[in-house]
Amino acid sequence: MSAKAQLVRAIAALNQLSLRIDAGTVGPKSEASKVFGDIRDWLKIAHEMELRLEKFEQERGAVTANPWPAAVAVYDAPIDANYGFNTYCQGRSTIGVTQTPLNASAFGVIDRGAPLRVKLASDQLESIARETLLSGGNLAAIGDGSGANWEIFQFERAKLVAPDTYELSQRLRGQYGTDGLVPAAWPVGSVFVLLNGVPNQIGLRSSDRDVQRHFRIGPAHRGYDDPAYEHLVETFEGTGLRPYPPAHLEANSNGADVDFSWIRRTRSDGDDWGWGDVPLGEESEQYLIQIIVGGNVKRQVFSATAQYRYLQADQFSDNVTGVYEVRVAQISERFGPGLFASHIVGG
């Protein structure tokens, strides 16, 4: 039950108490004290929520427990003291741990590789039709449990192979711009979270991005200092603002120069297959281009268009004569450079 719903319930109880007082049928004093105490508690929560109504960035939180309480509350603070209310988690997230590795695969096509085996802590998974998959169904995340290192993917088939254990196949990989984060393989023991609308967005102010914060997470009906609460220390980037890596990064010779070009992507309204470019989604268009040799950045430049010419004179100045890598990232004024697209030249 939300804080608003519980406040409404407390007010309704107060109204009933008032009617009973008028009718002369009021119960013991302890009954009235409980009603007034409930109202004070929820007014305090409402006040804390009001103080936090600043501009929030997006970070998603998933919570599970066994047994599951009616609701889970999240409190946060810059130090392990004087916590403020952050959010409620009403439902238990479907979370598991992988029992097989998930190797990298091509993006934009069905990954028909070996099934990914996942052991769930609770709940269940189910297969869906191909049309449902292509409409965004069975969206999930796999990662290392950190605040930022997650791949978003989808799966069409979920086969129950043991108690609470499923094999997921026919996947779409690197969704929502996470193709720039996919490793050679997600190892056994990676964390799986079903993104079915249950995981909540936690409140994260712009000033709190990239800053270590303390969190206490536990049963909403208890105070955050209760032993049932878990204490976590996390740093979040606000990855909901992170630009996607550009697509179709190419290199073409232009005499002794090299012309690089790419296609811009967007975080907002990018699924329209109609005429024209997708929305920019940023205040201005800007890219960071890096020339890398042996892991060292030889040149770093910026461009306001989706192209860059690497002049022969610059190659000579950088002492670049053989194989090298070019990386391109779109820049957000609020987030900074997003994930990089990469291309090997001369290989």
Statement: residue 185 has pLDDT above 90: yes
Statement: residue 52 has pLDDT above 60: no
**What is the per-residue pLDDT for 47?**
46
**What is the per-residue pLDDT for 281?**
85
Which range is least confidently modeled, 51-55, 228-232, 268-272?
51-55
Which range is least confidently modeled, 43-47, 55-59, 171-175?
55-59
181-193: average pLDDT: 95
**What is the per-residue pLDDT for 341?**
95
Statement: residue 40 has pLDDT above 80: no
CATH level 3 topology of 247-345: Immunoglobulin-like (2.60.40)
Statement: residue 67 has pLDDT above 80: no
Structure tokens at 284: 């201005």
- Identify the band that residue 56 occupies on the pLDDT scale cut at 50, 70 and 90: very low
- 8 A C-beta contact, residue 288 and residue 331: yes
**pLDDT for 298-346, tens place per residue?**
999 999 999 999 999 999 999 999 999 999 999 999 899 999 999 999 8
Statement: residue 49 has pLDDT above 50: no
**Over pLDDT 90: what percentage of the chain?**
60
Angle, helices 29-51 vs 3-23, to 10°: value is 150
Which range is least confidently modeled, 98-107, 127-136, 234-243?
234-243
Statement: residue 289 has pLDDT above 60: yes
More confident call, 326 vs 18: 326
**pLDDT for 191-245, tens place per residue?**
999 998 877 778 888 888 889 999 999 998 899 999 999 999 999 888 888 999 9
- Taking the domains of the chain in order of start, what are their residue ranges? 1-51, 95-240, 247-345
**What is the per-residue pLDDT for 216?**
95
Statement: residue 128 has pLDDT above 70: yes
Which range is least confidently modeled, 41-55, 191-205, 266-280, 290-304?
41-55
**What is the per-residue pLDDT for 71?**
83
Determine phi and psi for 32, rounding to 5 degrees: -65, -40
Residue found under tokens 């991005």: 209
More confident call, 304 vs 11: 304
